Amino acid sequence: MKNKLVMLLLAGVTLTTSCNKFLEEDPKSNLSLEYYYQNAGQAEGTINSLYRRGAQQRISFASSAYIGPTASVSTMLTGYFTNSYEGQERICLFSRELTRQNNTNLISGTMNTIWDDSYKAINIANAGLKYIPNINMADAAKNRLIGEAKFFRAFNYFYLVKTFGAIPLPTTPNETLKDDLYLERTPAAKVYELIEADLKEAVEVLPAAKFAQNGHRITKYVAAMTLANVYLQQGKFADAATAAKIVVNSGHSMTVNTDLGMSSAYNRLRTTDDLDEVIYAQEYDANISSGSWWPTYAFNSSAVSVFDKYSIFERVFGPTKQFLNVYDTKDLRIQPNQFFHWKYTNPINGKVWESTDAGIWYYFDEQALLTTGKATKDWNFYRYPEALLIAAEAIAKSGSVTAEAAGYLAQVKARANTEGKTVAQFTSDLQGLSVDLFVKECWIERLREFPLEFKMWDDIVRTKMFPVISTTDAGKIDFVPLIGAKNASGAVFKESDLLWPISPDEIQRNNKLTQNEGYK
């Protein structure tokens, strides 16, 4: 990995604008560090390269027709989602059956991708943080770029520490082959200290604007949302509430239901970019950078006879029937053509796709499937409901079930209600709950609101509680201690299931690294 890290520091990018949407990259790989970082354009180019690199790609990019983004695989540990192609994509099978410990070498490719891509981004961010302060440029622009660099370093470290636990923590760039690239693992608590410090500085210096209105650049509210997530993951509830309320009070808002059908909030989120609900997204465009295989994940393999723009369809992230019981029957999100669907008629050729297993309507991109063959819908990393739910849970956990906390949770519940129950009515009902029951309502609402955005496993790890969804009663969910619980595939959770293994290849390169407990 030495050569990779050094060469990445020699790749500059030039900022240009295309349709006021994308930060286009123009690599200048023939430059050396002696001539690099000399002016504002080179500083801007360094940071622009981080927008489409590292952890963000592991979460948002559908590079394969047979397996979803790397972040999707962790949800397989629950047994509530499956990959129809797990015979080939064995990491999904080993995850669902909780047998990764005996198959470490077989999943090392995925671990290499997470590790290498995240550390490449961190190395570039470290270089920017070292050199940008010395460039002669306007202070406002300099401070913004430093804030963005700190955000991306923190975002990548957050993904790594959640995945592997203790990790090496370089804070300066590896610029030559003489640099010591091989560091020991730093305790997770220390990694979190750096993440928090970076994000707090980013909150202070970045613009107080919405992502879409800031030229799709990182803002104060993107950093605050990530900081709230970081605090929540550690159980720092008072801090999480404070950070989340920065976003709650930012001018972002929930997308409303125009109707409960194709103009619902969930369908608008599916089809429309840059809504006020979106705090941070990965942009995709047909001509610059498409989302690749996302549209095909909306169906199973039989859809190959219904469409002609894609040659492969697989249910790579398919909800089980048991998982769908997380919703009561009146929840809008479980109605056909909201989050999920079971039947589709191609309007061009009249061919019908139908399945007893739910496809994911939220991933459906009609233009891509019918005409262009290119996915263009942006991927939303953070949405406003998550800020509301973090604030609600954190306020309750750090004090009591206040009207404020109840009101935040009520907004998310009311949007999904099909019987006309208002936010005020939900708020009144929720205020009567104990802290424990209220917090569980927050957990349940997170399961219902974000099942398709790869947040479930993080919640399970941080709470150490596993959601047991009834197989018979829609909407009934219990929570049991995670270790010793059975997942939805009948496998029993062990302490070693909480972390992924470090790639054996990386351990061979760096003899200072040790493997996570339980992995061969």
Q: Which of 144, 173, 206 is the C-terminal boundary of a domain?
A: 206
Q: Same domain for 169 and 22?
A: yes
Are residues 219 and 206 in contact, defined by beta-carbon separation less than 8 angstroms?
A: yes
Q: Which of 321, 349, 377 is the C-terminal boundary of a domain?
A: 377
Tokens of 479: 């929570």
Q: Same domain for 95 and 198?
A: yes
Are residues 150 and 125 in contact, defined by beta-carbon separation less than 8 angstroms?
A: yes
What is the Cα–Cα distance from 190 to 194, expressed in whole angstroms?
Answer: 7
Q: Which of 322, 346, 377 is the C-terminal boundary of a domain?
A: 377
Q: Same domain for 186 and 319?
A: no
Asked whether residue 445 is assigned to any structural domain, the reply reads: no
Q: Same domain for 137 and 22?
A: yes
> In sequence order, what are the beta bridge partners of 63?
none
- For residue 22, the model assigns a pLDDT of 52
Q: How far is CA 488 from CA 96, 322, 344, 449, 470, in A?
A: 8, 8, 28, 20, 10
pTM of the shown model: 0.94
Are residues 266 and 198 in contact, defined by beta-carbon separation less than 8 angstroms?
A: no
CATH code for the domain of 14: 1.25.40.890
Q: State pLDDT tens for residues 365-413.
A: 999 999 999 999 999 999 999 999 999 999 999 999 999 999 999 999 9
- For residue 201, the model assigns a pLDDT of 98
Tokens of 19: 């349709």
Where in the sequence is the domain holding 315, given as residue range(s)? 284-377
Q: Same domain for 190 and 293?
A: no
Task: Please state the domain count of the chain.
Answer: 2
Asked whether residue 15 is assigned to any structural domain, the reply reads: yes
Q: Same domain for 198 and 295?
A: no
Q: Same domain for 288 and 161?
A: no
Asked whether residue 127 is assigned to any structural domain, the reply reads: yes
Q: Same domain for 291 and 184?
A: no
* Low-confidence residues in the chain, pLDDT < 70: 1-35, 177-179
How does strand 22-23 pair with strand 278-282? unpaired
Are residues 404 and 309 in contact, defined by beta-carbon separation less than 8 angstroms?
A: no
What is the Cα–Cα distance from 387 to 389, expressed in whole angstroms?
Answer: 6
Write out the H or E segment, with its range, that includes residue 478: strand 477-481
Asked whether residue 241 is assigned to any structural domain, the reply reads: no
Q: How far is CA 237 from CA 143, 392, 513, in A?
A: 29, 10, 32
Tokens of 101: 């410990």
